[in-house]
Amino acid sequence: MKSPEQWSNEVVENIIKEVVSLNELKILKFCISNKVADFIKLVNMNLCMCLSEATSLQSFMERSSGRNIQSIRFFQIFIGCQNLEHPEIPDFVKYERYIKYCNGAGSNFPALDVLAQANAFELVNHKDIKHLSDFGIASLKKVLGCLVESCDTIEAIVGTVDSAEPVLLNLEDLYIKNLPRYSYMKIAELLFSVLIDVLQNKTVTN
């Protein structure tokens, strides 16, 4: 396609649905004026994706013949991001399953089964989410490294609305940038509550 006006997420999703069942397909690129807009690369069960919309990720996973996210050993997924070459999480290469979600809206992440396998998650410039738990506590249990940046409406990261089990129970590294409505005074209290839960779980296990 030669112009953005010809481009739509519907076009991308329709093409993905048509070709994703090809078991030997390794690279799929969508270009505007010779510039790559969206791409999918799957080689030796290592997946790298750059997509304009999260719904394209769901289309890919639903239509992939004989593939599921549990069988993919390593993935890097960028959704709505302008620059996939610069993840913000320090030492992000230590994480085998990484998702960066930019410029999203609403709390309905359309591929929760993929998010549930991620051990690193970046949420950048989300328009209206208030609590990270809105994505679902179960979908964030494996996250070890998390960055939340420029999400103007977010009020809670580790805590939940109903004081149920905390989000990000296995979190090791947390990075917070430019959150105007987030009370940074809560951080110590929330992380302390998570630590207590972790220690209690280990005590019960032992």
Structure tokens at 93: 């290469």
Asked whether residue 136 carries a pLDDT value surpassing 70, the answer given is: yes
Residues 80/102, Cβ–Cβ less than 8 Å: yes
Range in 78-87, 116-125, 175-184 the model is least confident about: 78-87
Residues 49/40, Cβ–Cβ less than 8 Å: yes
Structure tokens at 146: 């998390």
Q: Which residues are within 8 A (CB) of 106 and not within 5 positions of it... i.e. 6 or more apart?
A: 128, 129
Domain range summary for the chain, segments of one domain joined by +:
4-205
pLDDT in tens, 52-92: 888 778 777 776 654 567 778 888 888 888 755 567 888 88
Asked whether residue 1 carries a pLDDT value surpassing 60, the answer given is: no
**Average pLDDT estimate for 31-36:** 57
